[in-house]
Amino acid sequence: MSGLLDGIRCGECDCNVDWSEKRNTVASIAAGVLFFTGWWIIIDAAVKYPTQEEFPHSYHTCGVIATVAFLMINAVSNGQVRGDSYSEGCMGQTGSRVWLFIGFMLSFGSLIASMWILFGGFVVPKNPIVYPGIAIFFQNAFIFFAALVFKFGRTEDLWQ
């Protein structure tokens, strides 16, 4: 028993990692958690309320569009938009800006549409079951923030 705690060192163990170098990894993990949590929320709602009356199936559209917007936003690197990458794509800087603009527009649009569905489809008509609307809203919010984290949480110029 004597000297049992002698080996404990505070703050200088090997697990003391440098978080600034792991920023991209942490951002990727956070984006993955947000994105897939959003999709599992909507899967849960669809499993709980499968009928057309409780949860109209057309309401899944805005989640799909948010996912497409997620792919569009993250398919273009920041260097392409700023124009300081080594190779221009097939459409150059303007094309990537237009592409990114459309992606963010779809992303914001799906977020707004999910709020609209929550209030216009479930809250205002005094629907007894509000949970699908909340699920749609949270799905789109999570996907939106996942897109932002995956786009802006990562740095792409660590070698400079």
User: Among residues 26 and 102, whose Cβ is nearest to other proteins?
Assistant: 26
Tell me the three state secondary structure of residue 159: coil
CA distance 46 to 157: 41
Asked if residue 47 binds other proteins (CB under 8 A), the reply is yes
Part in contact with other proteins (CB under 8 A); list of ranges 28-36, 54-62, 88-96, 99-107: 28-36
CA distance 147 to 104: 9
Least Å distance between CB 41 and other proteins? 9
Is there a contact between 38 and 139 (Cβ–Cβ < 8 Å)? yes
CA-based angle 112:144:36, to the nearest 5?
A: 125
Part in contact with other proteins (CB under 8 A); list of ranges 38-46, 53-61, 88-96, 111-119: 38-46
Part in contact with other proteins (CB under 8 A); list of ranges 35-43, 88-96, 102-110, 122-130: 35-43
Is there a contact between 73 and 151 (Cβ–Cβ < 8 Å)? yes
Site of interaction with other proteins (CB under 8 A): 21, 24-25, 27-29, 31-33, 35-37, 40, 43-44, 47-48, 77, 150, 154-159
